Chains A and B, each alone.
Chain A
C-alpha cells in the first residue's frame, strides 16, 4: 500500500510541476490523502511491536 501511495504522490507531483488541470491535481491529492489516512488507521489500531 505504501508503494501505491508513493506512486500516486509521484504522479501528483509531476502533474503539479507541469501545471496540469486543477481537477487532476485536486483529485489525486484527495486520493493520496485518503489512502494515507486509511494506512494510518491500519497502523494506529494495531500494536506496534517495536524492537530496540
Chain B
C-alpha cells in the first residue's frame, strides 16, 4: 500500500468514526428535544410518538456499538457493515411509524396535528426526516467502507468527547425508561391520548 493510499484510508476511517459519534450525538439531541417538550411543555407523547422513539433508539444502538468497539480497537469491517444494516432496518421501521402518524392527521380534514409544531413541522414529520437522513448516511458509509473502517483517535481528549456522547445517549435511555414507567403505569399499552402520568394516578398521588 502506498503512502498516499494509507493516508486516504486513515482519513476515511477517522471520518467514519466521527460520523458514528455525530450520529449518536444528533439522535441524543433529537431525543432530548422530544423529552424537553414532554417535561417543560407538558405535551405527553402518544403511542406512535413513543414507537418512533424506540425506532430511533434501535437505530442508534448499532452506532453506539461501533463507537465503543472502535474505542477498544476491536471493530472489524464485517461488524461495521452489520451495524449499518441494523441502523437502516430500524430507520425503515421508524419511517413506517412516522408516515402512519402523518397520514393519520392528513386523513382527517381540519386536523391540526398532534402536539405543537417545531419550526413549522410536527415532531413526527421531523422524525420521518431524521429516518431518511439515517438511510442516506448509512448508504454513504457503506459506499466508503471499502476505503476504511472507523478508527478511534489516540488523543485522550478526543476519546473523551466520544465517551461523553455515549454517556449522554445512555442517560437519555434511562430517562425514557423512567418516563414510560410513569406514563404507562400498570396498563398493558399507552392510552391513545395520554394526559397524565398514569402510575402516579394509580398510586394515588394525583
| Residues of chain A at the chain B interface (Cβ within 8 Å) | 1-3, 5-7, 9-10, 12-14, 16-19, 22, 25-26, 29, 32-33, 36-37, 39-40, 42-44, 48-52
Chain A residue numbers with a CB within 8 Å of B100 are 40, 44
Contact-residue size bin, chain B (C-beta under 8 Å from the other chain): 35 or more
Whether B15 sits at the interface, judged by CB under 8 Å, is no
Is B104 interfacial (CB-CB < 8 Å)? yes
Q: List 20 A-B contacts (CB under 8 A).
A: A6-B173, A6-B177, A7-B177, A9-B57, A9-B177, A14-B170, A16-B65, A18-B68, A19-B69, A25-B65, A36-B58, A39-B47, A39-B51, A40-B96, A40-B97, A40-B100, A43-B189, A49-B193, A52-B111, A52-B112
Distance A18 CA – B169 CA, assembled complex (angstroms): 14
* CA gap between A7 and B114 in the complex, in Å: 26
B157 within 8 A of A: no
Query: Chain A's nearest CB lies how many Å from the CB of B31?
Result: 12
Among candidates B112, B173, B180, B192, residue contacting A49 with C-beta atoms closer than 8 Å: B192
Chain B residues with a Cβ under 8 A of chain A: 46-48, 50-51, 54-55, 57-58, 61-62, 64-65, 68-69, 72, 74, 79, 82, 86, 89-90, 93, 96-97, 100, 104, 111-112, 114, 166, 169-170, 173-174, 176-177, 180-181, 183-184, 188-190, 192-193
The 5 closest A-B pairs by CB, nearest first: A16-B65, A48-B192, A6-B180, A36-B54, A6-B177
| Nearest CB of chain B from residue A1's CB, rounded to whole Å | 5
CA distance A47 to B116 in the complex (A): 22
B58 touches A13 (CB 8 A): no
Set of chain B residues within 8 Å of A39, measured between Cβ atoms: 47, 51, 189
Question: Do B114 and A50 touch across chains, with their CB atoms under 8 A apart?
Answer: yes
Given the known A-B contacts A9-B61, A14-B170, are A36 and B180 also in contact in the complex, defined by CB atoms under 8 Å? no
A49 to B111: give the CA distance in the assembly, Å: 13
Q: B55 contacts which of A7, A36, A50 (Cβ < 8 Å)?
A: A36
